[in-house]
Chains A and B, each alone.
Chain A
Amino acid sequence: MKPKGWKDLAPGAVVLEGGSAVNFKTGSWRAFRPVWKEENCIQCLFCWLYCPDMAIKVKDGKRAEFDYDFCKGCGICALECPGKKGKKAIEMVEEGK
């Protein structure tokens, strides 16, 4: 995309579209990738709640896949995941492995 010239800018540098950051993907920051093991998931939604990057999708109150476009790989979800019978439902694996 051609960078904007001074005539194309919004007055006062106001950002006119609320939530436009969804167009800025942060997934490439990730060094570790969280992997969901649905079989161990108890649907507590703690991962969704604690994810600082709103990178865990929930559909109709049910946990769905990670949003890898935005997940930065911090690992909070994996650490906080209670899992089932001591077995975590999220595991962190190194990217590219």
Chain B
Amino acid sequence: MAKVVAVTGNEACANALRQVNPDVCGIYPITPQTDMMQRFASFIADGKVDTESILVESEHSSMSACIGAAAAGGRVVTATSSQGLALMWEMLHIASGDRLPIIMPVVNRALSAPLNIHGDHSDAMGARDTGWIQIWSENAQESYDNTIQAFRIGEHMDIRLPVMVCLDGFIISHSIERMEYLEDDEVKKFVGEFKNFLPLLNLEKPISYGPLILTDLYHEYKRAQHEVMTKVKDVVLDVAKDFEKMSGRKYGLFETYRLDDADIALVILNSAAGTSKDVIDTFRDKGIKAGLLKPRLFRPFPYEEVAEALKSVKAVCVMDRADSFGGYGPLFMEITSALYHIKERPVLINKIYGLGGRDYLPSHAELVFNELNEIAKGAKVKNIKEYIGVRE
């Protein structure tokens, strides 16, 4: 029986991890993730989990220790944000290159400089090419559900890859929302026993992790790693199906909202999708066919499916809460790549919003939809990329 609670995103994720009861957890503080691992540390201290923690001296060591623990053979988790994820960067590639299914909630936060502790997507976007699976979450419920599903996805025998579960710093990590917890034993059953793949702790079969691979084989190893990513989509969908059976909550590669017959649409990640949906309703009330696509699986990116979903829209604005200075926003680049291969494709524009925790307001969404409406009617695109909610 599900239990309705009022909790923060951090609390929800910490509880998901408690229910999974992993073998090892790397713990290091960084705002706004800190309180998630703090809560998990209390679960350890109170004997609610059997997990052994490693109270590391940096995120670099956290990921290094998680890699060591995962290679040893067992279920491993950690969590981080922002500078912490940036400091892990080197090790993120090694976790995925070694095919180790480490599960890591990433509480999204801006990157320095200047120093800022609030939510945007610069951190996780910077890690999009690290070979990790990335799943993005709109609210506490999705953060919780995605964290639980991440174990099944990453640990799947055809996959064996690390997974980041992204949720917005403060907006989700620290706001109290109504959501439903699954029962402990339901979660336990859902994730199942950890299956070992190539454990270092198997003394009978001594193996070596981390060889030097030169020009003769490196290219092949990377090709093989890509191949694994091509299998992720199906696993994500299968796991979502099972999850729906248990929870009644439906998940896909992305979520669409009133998109089927839409003339104009936003593509937007995480918490800002909620605000956008409200604005869509008001536009629909005015007779304007607005809709939305919210990516869930960002790596690997479901190009064909996204293209299929957006192909009949006349004008689309891709909203990026991260920037690629001197380039378009990272999400925009994915969506344009997805749509390029379609003959009759929507007109695309890109807005950068909400950096460093800047509020994303309904009025911002309204401005964008009004502009899209004009474009859909034939107006010329003035600027492909623009900042919104920024003072002149």
Contact = CB atoms under 8 A, between A and B. Distances in A.
Interface stretch (B7-15, B24-32, B94-102, B295-303): B94-102
A18 B208 contact: yes
Given A4-B217, A11-B160, A11-B198, A16 B207 contact: yes
A32 B209 CA distance: 35
Interface of A is mostly: loop
Contacts of A59: none
B207 A13 contact: no
Give the interface size bracket for B toward A. 20 to 34
Given A3-B216, A6-B223, A6-B227, A13 B206 contact: no
A6 B220 contact: yes
Contacts of B197: 11
A14 interface: yes
Contacts of A16: 198, 205, 207
B334 to A, nearest CB: 25
Contacts of B160: 11-12
A12 B220 contact: no
Nearest to B160: A11
B4 interface: no
A9 interface: yes
Nearest to A17: B207
Interface of B is mostly: loop
Given A6-B224, A6-B227, A9-B224, A15 B217 contact: no
Contacts of B216: 3
Contact of B207 (A3, A4, A6, A14): A14
Contacts of A3: 216-217
A12 B210 CA distance: 8
Nearest to A11: B99
A85 interface: no
Contacts of A15: 207-208, 211
A97 interface: no
A5 interface: yes
Contacts of B221: 6, 9, 13
A17 B206 CA distance: 7
Contact of A13 (B98, B205, B219, B223): B98
A11 B100 CA distance: 10
Nearest to B227: A6
Given A3-B216, A6-B227, A13-B213, A18 B207 contact: yes
Contact of A9 (B100, B205, B206, B220): B220
Given A3-B216, A4-B217, A12 B209 contact: yes
A7 interface: yes
Give the interface size bracket for A toward B. 10 to 19
Contacts of B210: 13
A18 B205 contact: yes
B98 A14 contact: yes
Given A15-B211, A18-B207, A5 B220 contact: yes
Contacts of B97: 12-13
Contacts of A11: 99, 160, 197-198, 224
A81 B67 CA distance: 44
Pick from B205, B208, B209, B223 the residue with the most CB of A within 10 Å: B208
Interface string B285-302: 000000000000000000
A8 to B, nearest CB: 8
A19 B219 CA distance: 25
Interface in B193-210: 197-198, 205-210
Nearest to B198: A14
A7 B217 CA distance: 12
Nearest to B216: A3
Nearest to B208: A15
Interface string A4-45: 111101011111111100000000000000000000000000
A59 B100 CA distance: 42
7 contacts: A3-B217, A9-B217, A13-B97, A13-B213, A14-B207, A16-B205, A16-B207
Q: In the A-B complex, list the 5 residue pairs whose CB atoms are closest, starting with the nearest.
A: A18-B206, A12-B99, A6-B220, A15-B208, A6-B223
Interface of B: 97-100, 160, 197-198, 205-211, 213, 216-217, 219-221, 223-224, 227
Given A11-B224, A14-B98, 5 more contacts: A3-B216, A7-B224, A11-B198, A12-B209, A18-B207
